[in-house]
Structure 1
Amino acid sequence: MKNRDQYSEIEDFLADETFQLWMKSQKNVNGWEEWTLEHSKRAKLVEEARLWLLAMQVPDALLLDEEIDSSLQKTWMKIETKERDNKMEQKVLQLWYSGLFKKIAAVLVLGVLSFYVYTNYFDHEQSYYNFNQIIVNGDDGGLLEQINNSNKPQIITLSDGSSVLLQPKTKLSYPKVFTGNERNVYLSGEAFFEISKNPKKPFFVHANEIVTKVVGTSFRIKAYNDQSEVEVLVRTGKVKVNSEKKNKNSLQKEIVLLPNQALRFERKGQTFDKITDITLDKSISSSVKSIEQLSFEFTDIPVAQIFKTIEQAYSVDVDFPVKELQKCHLTTSLSDQPLPEKLKIICKSISENTTYTMNGNQIIINSNGCN
């Protein structure tokens, strides 16, 4: 077998068992996902090979014996009529009973059925964007990638101070440092964003077939590759949502979402459904996470209680000197701030010598006591 770096035809990919397993299982078999990212010029060949595999996966339920027999009979009648006109009836009958024409007709019927199934069951997938495609279509180079393979949320702090809470089985690609006039990240899965305010440099989240634009706000996006819908829910501020790639079936106008509003994007039909009151939508209201429910408005609240709220919202552990801070109370508003900014405000409110360090989901507070 050729080394895959030498693959130049669709047949090369189709003959590779590891490629077939990758496409069928959607798991990163034998490093195919990384290889595709490194060889973006062959992305078209990879996509065409994927579509061939989908077309060949005809559900058994559609190949009923009666339907095949009927199709074979109709095919044979056409062949028989044509051959009779050419005075080859006897020879054709011999070939039919020998089984050769039956096999040919069966191949033709299966081909028609395959085309029907592909058109009706798989063709809509061509309008779907996968994670690799949205990155290839982006202009950012040298992206970092964070994948949450654990069973609990993970917090990420971006270079601009924004924070992203990744749910399990979620992937985020982002630049080490944001450059240019935009901040672009790429999401596959579910995450809660708290964006650092910068009106001159809007923030864009690319997720499947939609892009969400913000300046400074908090919101959640749910966009798994294997699910038929994408959801955007706003907690604070304002976001604008539009199609990643506009076409005749997509909505051309941006949809604006305000706090406690949501949007559901149906991927196959490229349709948008704006939800102005999330409490009236059972599916969305039942999926609201702790970070979207807890209040960050504190009035004369013990510091220990504030840190407890941080732990519940972000699924982190906060280690602080209990004895030194046991008498400290704070009054502050942290509702529209990313996690790093929240911690800065809390530390500054406690005392000038209070600091914090953050390592993944572990936060350590250093303090000699409050003012």
Structure 2
Amino acid sequence: MGKELKFLVEQIMREKGITKDAVIELLETALISAIRKKYGNKSSIKIKIEPQTFDINIFEIKKVVEEVKDSASEISIEEVKQKYIDKGIGDTVEVPLSIQDFGRIAVQTAKHVLFQKIREIERSQIFEEFKDKVGNIVSGTVLRKEKGNFYILVGKAEAILPDKEVLPQDNLKRGDIVKAYIFEVKQTPKEPIIKLSRTHPNFVVGLFTLEVPEIQDGIVEIKTIARDPGERTKIAASSKDPSVDPVGACVGMKGTRVQAVVRELKGERIDIIPYSDDMSFFIAKALTPATVLKVGINENEKTAVVVVENDQLSLAIGKKGQNVRLASRLTGWSIDVLSESEYNQMKHKETERAFKETNQKQVND
């Protein structure tokens, strides 16, 4: 049995990444559980596994007494004298049990307990590995789709990519390699749950971090982001080094860096603008690709009126209002966009009203 046990332990060590001492300890626990099922719930069982030969020695710990009243936990002094010369009343002795007495059911029980304990260790290891990885980008292999979730193999863990966290353009199939953002890791009584997303705004931030060394080095920072997953994203980047252009760093030579991100996002459009504390400038840039003529702001209410040329109005607002909506989310300000004609007309009306009010005041006076 020693050779079989050695093979089993080495296999577990190799496949599960568990140390030899840990496997032996688990095996001893499993064997004790099996023995107690066979011999009753004896707390006096002791097992020793020789770490080199993997020979198993099983003992019952019994107390030496004058007269035995409980054979499960006691042994008479007369019997002890025949085997243990140096033991007396009140001492304890280790009485060997034969491994052959186990039987097939006991061995199966031991294996069941062993693999149950190993699964518990694996689950604990997975949680420990991923609990601090929330916010990271990982790559994994699509295993299957089940009940509205994609199951992704990430290392040795099965992570969940919910259908609602998948891009509209994604067409995931079994065996596909996919990148995703870890947005939740939690422990449950059954197993740890790792949730992934490809629609989270920080997925885009993570992709740029992978592509842009200046972000990795802390020189360039993505300050804010607004995203309609699968359609359009706006990011505002700043630089701690005046000689480094944050927008240029994110775009890359001939657009290589931003295009790598766009490919991963299946063609999602990305606007990259410089972050600024000058809100008039920042709001104007946030409406990229439209060209802004002027910006009026109300700092108390965080509202802004933006004027664009007539032919730029639809571009500034965007399809179904997407461009101005994302610009508002990016800046945190409510933005109202007017064409130059609308603005002039409004200004003319205000001038007329002011003129009438002045004339009426003069008449009254």
TM-score (norm 2): 0.27
Q: Which has the higher contact order (CA 8 A, sep 6+)?
A: 1
Highest CA radius of gyration, 1 or 2? 2
TM-score (norm 1): 0.27
